[in-house]
Amino acid sequence: MEDQEAVGPPVPVADLKVQYAENPDFKQKVEFLVDRFQHMRRARPDGSCFYRSYLFAIFEQMVGDKERALAFRERQKDALEFCLSVGYERMAIEDFFDDFMELLDAVSVEGATRATLEDLWTDEKDRYLVCWARVLTSAYLKRHEQDFACFLTAHSSVQQFCAQEVDPMTTEADHLQITALSSQLQVPVTVVYLDRSEGSAAEHPFAHDSTLPFTPIHLLYRPGHYDLIYPK
C-alpha cells in the first residue's frame, strides 16, 4: 500500500470492466460508469483516500486559474483562526495551513500544469494536506455541533466523534465528514456509489449550493475506499 502513489495518474474508467469481470453483481453499475465517466485517478487506500482525492481535485481545478484560486483563497484566508477558535494549538497546525496555502499559490500561477501539481504532491506534502483536511473537518463539526449531534449513533458527543473518527490519520470518511469538509471548503462534490445495491450507480451531492467558481468534483466510492472519477 505504501508503494502506491498517493494520487495516481489518470486511467480509463473502462479498466473497471476488467477488475469486475468475474463479479456479475457489479456489471450494470460498471456499464453505467463507463458510459458516463471518462477516466479516474486511484488514491492510496490507507484511510485518508477521501481527503486526498477531494483536495487533489480542488487544486487540480485551480491549476493556472488565478480567478478561481483567488476566490478559494478568500474563502480560506481565515481558516487557521477558525480552527484555533475550537481549541487547536497554533504550533500544532500552522505548518499544515501554510503548506496548503503555498500549494494553492504554486499551482495557480500562469504556466502551471497538471504535471506541476503532480510533481508538487509528494508523500510529505500529502501527509500535511491530509492533516489539514482532517483539522478543518473536525473544526467544522465542533463549530456546528448542534447540527451534527443528532446524527451520532455510536458516539456520545461530536468531540468524541472527532477524536475517534476524524483526527486519527487512518480513519475513513463517511457522510458527516464529507458534509463538514465540503461545507467548510465550499467546493461541491458528488459521491458515486459502486456497490451491490440494485440499479445504476447512486449519486449523493454535497455542498452543491456553493457560490465558488468550481465545477462539482466526483468521487467513486467502493465500500471503504474513494477514488477520483471524471465525467465525460
In three-state form (DSSP H/G/I as H, E/B as E, the rest C), the secondary structure along 139-179 is: HHHHHCHHHHHHHCCCCCCHHHHHHHHCCCCCCCCCHHHHH
> Domain count of the chain?
1
Is 30 within a domain? Answer: yes
**Is there a domain that residue 1 lies in?**
no
Per-residue pLDDT tens over the stretch 178-199: 999 999 999 999 999 998 887 7
Task: Please check whether residue 52 lies inside any domain of the structure.
Answer: yes
Question: Domain containing 107 — which CATH number?
Answer: 1.20.1300.20
Q: What are phi and psi of 166, to 5 degrees?
A: -120, -55
2 in a domain, yes or no?
no
**pLDDT tens track for 48-102:** 999 999 999 999 999 999 999 999 999 999 999 999 999 999 999 999 999 999 9
Distance CA 182, CA 179 (A): 5
Cell numbers found for residue 163: 477524536
- Domain assignment of residue 214, yes or no: yes
The predicted structure's pLDDT at residue 196: 82
| Active site residues per annotation | 46, 49, 225
Q: Half-sphere exposure (CA, 13 Å, Cβ side) for 25?
A: 6
Angstrom distance (rounded) from CA 111 to CA 46: 33
Q: Please give the residue range of the domain that contains residue 199.
A: 7-231
